[in-house]
């Protein structure tokens, strides 16, 4: 959404009151070059405005994870505020040049610092949503005020019909929005990052407004006003440049505020934010923890409880050819490779950075026993949903170890469509196991996943174990057998489970039994709504 969404321009001849009369009395700015310069400014301002919007949406998807909600809040609030801003700019038409410059300087400061400010609100104040709405309102109002003021300046350069002037402005505005929309994901985000990208755009925004007014409309400003605007612009530029210089230090401090233990490695990939922390556990051992988009994936102190409970029941039968969906940390691989009769393991992981980290980081290679170096392992970097659509090989066991379905991007991996495709790659007597969240903390989500897996035609056996870092955690064993049971056939003793504890794992307390949830589909992702309520 660009600045051209709304305009407060009045058609010729419409009564405009004293403000409109004084606007007509403003001196004209003849010439071809001022008109070109103004349209270029419209182009730049539209690009900057769209970058501000995209930055807020993207930051929300990174921090909160719910892209649809974040986009809806940001865009709807900004569009409404743009209309208010356009109306608020009407009385300023007789002061179009200084008003436009003031708007651009304010927009440069607020828009440029918006990502930094929202990140601070999230990390230290826990007021992210309120801060997002406030930022969207202010930025939207300023963006909305641009077009009416620019329309007035355009008419002073050359009088023309309202329709013709609107067409010229909107053409420059929409093309500028295209530039901003393409520059954000392909240049600003990958090269400069969220914080610095917004700061750069803020500086560009301020310079564009200053150049237009000081070069072509300087006659509208007194010496004092010009000096004031010049000093304010320099001050804003100094704030933005200083923030750019200290962006890394700020980001590191803000990120550390979100984690109890020191961060030892972090990286924002194309798909997720990966963070490793390390500390000493209460038992005196090293506690390495992996977080994806802020959600804990494992603690080295007790991850064996999770991975043993997930992997070994699925490998109690046929296991010559195993498929792992997710599990990029290699810890499920470690358990699978304990079986000497496993011939091949195919691991499908979306994020290549996660695989590279698990292959090379000494903290992870120690935990996963360098599992990716085993010649039996084949890694596939792909979206699991898309990959399953074209998969033809059958597998004796399938391990589905995916992040919790509390984000829009993950919801499709907990749908009836996904499990139907997963069932198609199961050999006749194969077993599939799915990590399904906590039946204690998120019972509706857990039983929704169980209902969804059943739609694939498989029989589901729910079970749960205690993982202290997570609490009570649940899995789903799925087979074509009418009465599946949990068995173990491990070649070595396991630390956390045995036959007796497995049988107890299938028993649920009366208040944690099946809640009768409906299956989740691509078009109606019930699991996403349930997870958002229960895990936030």
Q: Are 145 and 5 in contact (CB under 8 A)?
A: no
Query: Is 401 an active-site residue?
Result: yes
Nearest CA-CA partner of 232 in 106, 48, 44 = 106
**Contact criterion met (CB below 8 Å) for 100 and 213:** yes
User: Is the Cβ–Cβ distance between 89 and 148 less than 8 Å?
Assistant: yes
State how far the alpha carbon of 360 is from the alpha carbons of 33, 96, 140, in Å: 58, 59, 45
Report whether 272 belongs to an annotated binding site. yes
CB atoms within 10 A of CB 431: 27
- Check 401, 489, 498, 514 and give the catalytic one: 401
CB 459, CB 426: distance < 8 Å: no
Q: Are 179 and 15 in contact (CB under 8 A)?
A: no
Angle at the Cα of 298 from the Cα atoms of 441 and 408, rounded to 5 degrees: 60
Annotated binding-site residue? 383: yes
Contacts of residue 43, defined as CB under 8 A and 6 or more positions apart, other chains included, come to 172, 173, 175, 176, 179
8 Å CB contact between 521 and 417: yes
User: By C-alpha distance, which of 422, 419, 491, 496 is closest to 464?
Assistant: 496
Is 384 annotated to bind a ligand? Reply is: yes
Q: What CA–CA distances, in Å, run from 190 to 195, 218, 234, 411?
A: 11, 38, 28, 25
For the annotated catalytic residues, the residue numbers are 401
Task: Give the residue numbers of the binding site.
Answer: 272, 307, 329, 349, 383-384
Binding residues for S-methyl-5'-thioadenosine: 272, 349, 383-384
Residue numbers belonging to the annotated binding site for spermidine = 307, 329
């Amino acid at each position: 959404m660009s600045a051209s969404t709304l305009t407060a321009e009045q058609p010729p001849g419409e009564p405009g009151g004293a403000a409109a009369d004084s606007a007509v009395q403003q001196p004209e700015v003849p010439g071809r070059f001022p008109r070109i310069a103004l349209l270029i400014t419209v182009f730049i301002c539209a690009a900057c405005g769209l970058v501000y919007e995209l930055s807020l949406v993207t930051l929300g998807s990174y921090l909160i994870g719910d892209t649809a909600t974040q986009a809806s809040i940001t865009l709807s609030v900004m569009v409404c505020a743009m209309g208010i801003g356009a109306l608020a700019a009407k009385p300023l038409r007789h002061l179009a040049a200084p008003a436009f410059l003031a708007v651009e300087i304010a927009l440069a400061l607020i828009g440029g610092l918006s990502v930094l400010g929202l990140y601070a609100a999230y990390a230290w104040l826990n007021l992210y949503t309120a801060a997002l709405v406030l930022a969207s309102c202010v930025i939207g109002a300023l963006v909305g005020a641009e077009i009416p003021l620019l329309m007035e300046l355009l008419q002073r350069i050359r009088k023309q019909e309202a329709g013709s002037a609107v067409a010229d402005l909107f053409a420059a505005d929409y093309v500028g929005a295209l530039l901003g929309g393409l520059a954000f994901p392909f240049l600003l985000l990958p090269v400069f990052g969220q914080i610095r990208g917004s700061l750069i755009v803020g500086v560009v925004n301020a310079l564009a407004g200053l150049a237009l007014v000081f070069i072509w409309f300087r006659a509208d400003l007194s010496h004092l006003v010009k000096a004031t605007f010049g000093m304010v612009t320099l001050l804003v530029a100094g704030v933005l440049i200083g923030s750019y210089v200290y962006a890394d230090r700020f980001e590191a401090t803000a990120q550390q505020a979100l984690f109890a233990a020191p961060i030892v490695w972090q990286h924002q990939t194309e798909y997720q934010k990966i963070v490793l922390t390390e500390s000493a556990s209460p038992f005196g051992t090293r506690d390495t923890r992996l977080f994806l988009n802020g959600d804990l994936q494992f603690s080295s102190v007790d991850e064996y409880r999770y991975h043993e409970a997930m992997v070994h029941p699925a490998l109690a039968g046929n296991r010559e050819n195993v498929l792992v969906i997710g599990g990029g940390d290699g810890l499920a691989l470690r358990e699978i490779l304990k079986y000497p009769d496993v011939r091949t393991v195919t691991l499908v992981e979306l994020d290549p950075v996660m695989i590279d980290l698990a292959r090379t980081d000494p903290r992870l290679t120690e935990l996963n026993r360098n599992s990716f170096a085993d010649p039996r392992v084949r890694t596939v970097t792909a979206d699991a949903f898309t990959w399953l659509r074209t998969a033809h090989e059958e597998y004796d066991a399938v391990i589905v170890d995916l992040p919790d379905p509390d984000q829009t991007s993950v919801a499709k991996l907990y749908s009836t469509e996904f499990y139907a495709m997963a069932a198609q790659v199961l050999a006749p007597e194969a077993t599939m196991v799915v990590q399904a969240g906590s039946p204690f903390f998120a019972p509706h989500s857990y039983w929704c996943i169980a209902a969804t897996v059943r739609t694939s035609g498989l029989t589901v056996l729910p079970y749960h174990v205690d993982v202290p870092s997570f609490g009570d955690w649940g899995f789903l064993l799925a087979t074509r057998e009418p009465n599946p049971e949990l068995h173990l056939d491990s070649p070595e003793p396991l630390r956390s489970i045995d036959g007796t504890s497995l049988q107890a794992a299938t028993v649920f307390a009366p208040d944690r039994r099946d809640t009768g949830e409906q299956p989740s589909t691509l078009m109606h992702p019930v699991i996403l709504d349930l997870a958002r309520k229960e895990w936030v």
